């Protein structure tokens, strides 16, 4: 009698290596810690930052989708995660800078365990990173959170959107949900160690789809510009 065993792909790796790789193997302990951390963070955001979330009904109920948001501080990711239903938490993957979050142990623990981040190469391996995003979204039910500005704003103003998001969704029927967080820059600007108790408001816009556009450079630029406009418009309300 022969049984088919499927050992974990990261069986002989250390904890740090297991957290650094992507996709990560499912781990009940990590899921438990992430769920507990999510509850604490949601409580913190509500109490300390009076976080308000509007437009939750715009989030697609089924299938994979992409969320794009302005990047004002580290609070952005936490607020977007707080908007997602708790049971879905382990299938939401915010893209995080590989060169910033996946190097030192404390940041790695936060990125991989608490945030469930996807390591994104900003300077090198951009193509491979986009490929990783594509394969992630091919699995129905996965949610990718992107900050197309590529880095946190240093002035508070919305920066240009990089074309990567455009090339990811052009010619596909993947819904893209624009979001805008107000108050993030005032609460936790770059260079400060701890956030200040400022009010936060996350607005979730209606999903967009770019199935009709061909998958080329021109469309990528157009889509990025269109999404930037959509995010900026949410911020005007």
Partner 1 sequence: MTPQAALQSEIFRTYAWIVAGVLVAAGLALAVLRWILKKEVGSVWLTYRSWLIMAPLIFGSILGGRVVFIVVLCLLAGIGFKEFARATGLYRDWWLTGAVYIGIIAVGITCLVPQPQGEEPGNGWYGLFVALPVFAVALILLIPIARNRVQGQLQGVALAIVGFIYMGWMFGHLAFMANATHAYGYLLYVIFATEINDVAAFTCGRLFGRRPFRSNISPKKTWGGTLGALAVSLILPWLLRFSFPHFGAKQLLLTGLIVGIGGQLGDLVISVIKRDIGIKDMGSGIPGHGGVLDRIDSLIYVAPLFLHMAGYFYGLR
Instruction: Tell me how far, at minimum, the Cβ of 12 lies from partner 1, in Å.
Output: 6
Instruction: Tell me how far, at minimum, the Cβ of 29 lies from partner 1, in Å.
Output: 8
Instruction: Tell me how far, at minimum, the Cβ of 145 lies from partner 1, in Å.
Output: 24
**11 contributes a contact to partner 1 by CB under 8 A:** yes
Spatial contact of 179 and 147, defined as CB atoms under 8 Å apart: no
Instruction: Tell me how far, at minimum, the Cβ of 235 lies from partner 1, in Å.
Output: 40
**28 contributes a contact to partner 1 by CB under 8 A:** yes
Closer to partner 1 by CB, 5 or 194: give it: 5
**88 contributes a contact to partner 1 by CB under 8 A:** no
Closer to partner 1 by CB, 79 or 108: give it: 108
- 19, 22, 23, 29: which one binds partner 1 (CB under 8 A): 29
Residues at the interface with partner 1 (CB under 8 A): 3-8, 11-14, 25-29
């Amino acid at each position: 009698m022969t049984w088919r065993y499927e050992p974990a792909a990261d069986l002989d790796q250390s904890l740090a290596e297991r957290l650094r790789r992507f996709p990560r193997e499912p781990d009940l302990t990590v899921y438990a810690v992430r769920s507990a951390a999510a509850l604490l963070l949601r409580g913190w955001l509500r109490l300390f930052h009076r976080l308000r979330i509007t437009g939750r009904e715009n989030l697609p109920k089924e299938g994979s989708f992409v969320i794009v948001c302005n990047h004002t501080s580290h609070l952005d990711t936490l607020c977007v995660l707080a908007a997602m239903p708790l049971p879905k938490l382990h299938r939401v993957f915010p893209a995080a800078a590989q060169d910033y979050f996946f190097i030192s142990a404390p940041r790695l623990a936060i990125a991989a365990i608490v945030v469930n981040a996807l390591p994104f190469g900003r300077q090198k391996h951009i193509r491979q990173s986009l490929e990783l995003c594509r394969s992630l979204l091919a699995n129905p039910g996965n949610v990718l959170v992107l900050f197309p500005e590529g880095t946190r704003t240093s002035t508070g103003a919305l920066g240009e959107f990089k074309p990567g998001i455009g090339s990811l969704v052009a010619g596909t029927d993947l819904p893209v949900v624009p979001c805008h967080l107000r108050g993030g820059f005032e609460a936790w600007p770059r260079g400060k160690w701890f956030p200040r108790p400022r009010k936060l408001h996350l607005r979730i816009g209606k999903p967009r789809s770019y199935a009709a556009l061909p998958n080329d450079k021109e469309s990528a630029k157009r889509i990025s510009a269109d999404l930037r406009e959509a995010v900026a418009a949410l911020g005007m309300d």
